[in-house]
């Protein structure tokens, strides 16, 4: 039974709880229950199940009507993945981590509504930067990574100003407004301004595109990249952790708690886990969705909330329109891995460091700290991205961990190297190897592709509606974008069903 308040809540569930394609399910499809919890661990929740939901519903993956959500794995939340620590009461965030109560109001409101505890990111201390040549510098607050060489400092200021001002001019809903002559790769766009030829700026550009979308500047379109930056409030917003920054707050219970709280607000038994979608057949105004186990469901509306690069794992009948198929064929997932390392104390704070670092040399590309004494949690969240992640991903599992730990010892310096090596627990996920994602934090587009296929990205096809963080107008690739894209698709569905009832 839904109240008006509850129905409104459920409008955003379509993104966080995904109808997901994939290969044959390892486990039997079954309803998710609150007993499954929200923290990932070794138990995949194969306990006794409540009765299966009806096979005929109004909507697949949306709220306010008879509703069914199909999730391929046993974990809700998509790229929001909060993992239980084995060595303490805290959690390791392997996916989405940070929010902002001022610039990401939708997801923050959910955290408040569900009684989740937020922590302001620690900002008291120096940052560390390592150049491509391996040289390490320590910067005081407010001067993050500014080079000592005056010439390089001037180059860097001009570079960041160009990107910031160009992104600010982007119209995120008018894909034809970007200058056609500049609709080239990000690398070639920088070359237009004589910046790609400068080694320092070329290295910074590589570090920037890896960090933000997990790809190299040659791989992504300038229009796409500037649009992405604009959607996140600008370059400074994406890079910083102050009141205006994307890394301003984090959730003690983990971001996955938002997804599971939404699931608990739904009718019991209406969220199926271990249920990867095999096919979607549209016929006579009804969609028939078949999961890998062979079970089928009939729905008036379907929201596809998976990342675009895995659309081709679903068999659509009739096929998706040509523009949407072309969009799918031109998207490339970001190459991204995340490795939280936990310690017995926040030794970096004791040394006057904030726990934030950037390395253009790798393999640890950048990171922030997450600490909470009440949970005995002291962690460095390490990101590995782009071509560096591709090379790192080829290493044996034990070498992957060792290479990151040793690199931290290197960039934090000899006086702190032993502290960096004294790791309590290591967890990591390579999003590129996750079969229902194949990358992260988003999918990317090459030169000219956003102009050509921007409209097709969100366009419904008969009774299919498309969500996913890539389809957000604001905060693409972030939890905020995931939720608002789900709300948009949900509203499309509600409007469509309302019109049908009137007719």
Residues belonging to the binding site are: 71-72, 277, 383, 470
Q: Which residues are annotated as a binding site for FAD?
A: 71-72, 277, 470
Alpha helices in 28-137 (DSSP H): 105-113
- Nearest to 218, CA basis, from 227, 205, 229: 205
Burial of 180 (0-12, 13-18, 19+ CB in 10 A): exposed
Cβ of 390: how many Cβ atoms within 10 Å?
A: 15
DSSP string, 298-360: EEEEEEE-S-GGGGGGSEEESPPPHHHHHHHHH-EE--EEEEEEE-SS-HHHHTTEEEEEEES
> Is beta strand 67-70 parallel, antiparallel or unpaired with respect to 271-273?
parallel
- Nearest to 441, CA basis, from 482, 474, 407: 482
Q: How far apart are CA 339 and CA 408, in angstroms?
A: 12
Position of tokens 């008879």?
Answer: 66
Q: Is 6 within 8 Å of 260 (Cβ atoms)?
A: no
- Alpha carbon 190 to its chain centroid, in Å, reads 26
Q: Classify 145 in phi/psi space as left (phi over 0), alpha (psi -120 to 50) or beta.
A: left
> Is beta strand 296-304 parallel, antiparallel or unpaired with respect to 56-60?
parallel
List the beta bridge partners of residue 139. Answer: 127
Burial 374-387 (b: 16+ CB within 10 A, else e): eebbbbbbbbbbbb
329 vs 322, 324, 412, 477, CA distance in Å? Answer: 10, 9, 42, 19
- Nearest to 72, CA basis, from 325, 256, 291: 291
Q: How far apart are CA 56 and CA 60, in angstroms?
A: 10
Q: How far apart are CA 258 and CA 255, in angstroms?
A: 6
Q: Which residues are annotated as a binding site for substrate?
A: 383
List the beta bridge partners of residue 178. Answer: none
Helix (H, G, I), strand (E, B) or coil at 252: coil
Q: Is 392 within 8 Å of 383 (Cβ atoms)?
A: no
Position of tokens 């790791």?
Answer: 423
Q: How far apart are CA 258 and CA 109, in angstroms?
A: 10
Q: State the Cα angle at 242 between 237 and 246, rounded to 5°.
A: 40
């Amino acid at each position: 039974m839904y109240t008006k308040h509850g129905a409104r809540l459920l409008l955003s569930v379509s993104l966080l709880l995904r109808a997901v394609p994939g290969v044959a399910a390892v486990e039997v499809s079954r309803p998710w229950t609150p007993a499954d919890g929200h923290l990932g661990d070794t138990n995949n929740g194969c306990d006794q199940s409540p009765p299966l939901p009806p096979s005929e519903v109004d909507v697949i993956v949306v709220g306010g009507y008879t509703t069914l959500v199909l999730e391929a794995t046993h974990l809700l939340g998509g790229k929001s993945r909060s993992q239980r620590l084995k060595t303490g009461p805290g959690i390791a965030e392997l996916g989405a981590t940070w929010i902002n109560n001022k610039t990401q109001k939708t997801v923050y409101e959910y955290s408040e509504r569900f009684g989740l505890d937020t922590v302001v990111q620690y900002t008291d201390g120096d940052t560390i930067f390592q150049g491509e040549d391996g040289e390490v510098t320590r910067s005081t607050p407010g001067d993050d990574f500014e080079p000592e060489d005056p010439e390089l400092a001037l180059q860097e200021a001009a570079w960041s100003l160009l990107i910031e001002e160009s992104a600010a001019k982007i119209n995120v809903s008018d894909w034809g407004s970007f200058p056609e002559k500049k609709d080239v790769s990000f690398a070639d766009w920088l070359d237009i301004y004589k910046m790609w030829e400068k080694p320092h700026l070329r290295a910074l550009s590589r570090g920037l595109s890896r960090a933000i979308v997990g790809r190299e500047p040659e791989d992504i379109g300038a229009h796409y990249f500037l649009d992405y930056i604009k959607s996140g409030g600008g370059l400074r917003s994406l890079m910083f952790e102050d009141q205006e920054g994307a890394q301003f707050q984090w959730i003690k219970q983990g971001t996955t708690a938002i997804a599971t709280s939404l699931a608990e607000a739904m009718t019991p038994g209406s969220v199926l886990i271990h249920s990867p979608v095999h096919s979607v057949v549209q016929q006579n105004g009804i969609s028939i969705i078949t999961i890998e186990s062979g079970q089928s469901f009939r729905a008036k509306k379907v929201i596809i909330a998976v990342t675009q690069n895995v659309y081709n794992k679903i068999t659509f009948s009739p096929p998706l329109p040509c523009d949407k198929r072309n969009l799918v064929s031109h998207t490339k997932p970001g190459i991204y891995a995340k490795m939280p390392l936990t310690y017995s104390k926040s030794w970096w704070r004791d040394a006057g460091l904030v726990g934030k670092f950037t390395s253009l040399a790798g393999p640890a590309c950048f990171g922030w700290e997450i600490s909470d004494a009440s949970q005995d949690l002291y962690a460095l969240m390490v990101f590995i991205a782009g071509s560096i992640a591709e090379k790192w991903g080829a290493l044996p599992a034990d070498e992957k961990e060792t290479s990151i730990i040793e690199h931290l010892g290197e960039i934090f310096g000899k006086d702190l190297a032993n502290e960096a090596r004294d790791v309590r627990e290591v967890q990591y996920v390579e999003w590129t190897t996750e079969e229902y994602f194949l990358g992260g934090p988003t999918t990317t587009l090459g030169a000219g592709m956003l102009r050509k296929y921007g409209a097709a990205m969100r366009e419904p096809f008969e009774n299919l509606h498309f969500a996913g963080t890539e389809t957000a107008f604001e905060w693409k690739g972030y939890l905020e974008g995931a939720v608002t894209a789900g709300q948009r698709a949900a509203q499309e569905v509600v409007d469509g069903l309302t019109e049908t009832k009137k007719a």
